[in-house]
Amino acid sequence: MKRELQKQLFDNYTDLFKEKDLPPDQSNMCFGFECDSGWYDLINTLCQLIKHYNKQQTNKPDYKPVVVQQVKEKFGGLRFYYYGGDDIVAGMVSFAEAMSQQICETCGNKGKTNWKRSWVKTLCEEHDVEY
């Protein structure tokens, strides 16, 4: 992901990404967002939803706020690893991960997952040809 987009996510969601400066043996967020910039809007929306939900749950003693440990692409889809949260957060993450397989990882347009290569990617027609 482009550095300026990554910085926006880190700056806008400091509570979610508070482990970004930890060493790799403690959190993989030190590597940043391990995907292309086309998923920025998807990741940003997911983070907005989680941030808002975390805030709503502040007074609930059993609720642990979400902390993100890694965000990456794997097998053409978004992987969003975290701890904390509850079933509602798990549903948000599952939905975003499923949506990523319909969004071009390069540009954010409608895409499809191509399994015919050595590296599986979700791309629009234009970027599929370039790749």
Q: Where are the beta strands (DSSP E) in 28-128?
A: 33-34, 67-74, 77-83, 112-114, 121-123
Residues paired with 68 in a beta bridge: 82
Query: For the segment 8-46, what is each residue's pLDDT rounded down to a tens digit?
Result: 999 999 999 999 999 999 999 999 999 999 999 999 999
Residues in the chain: 131
128 confidence band (pLDDT: 50, 70, 90): confident
Res. 51: pLDDT tops 90: yes
Q: The whole model's pTM is what?
A: 0.94
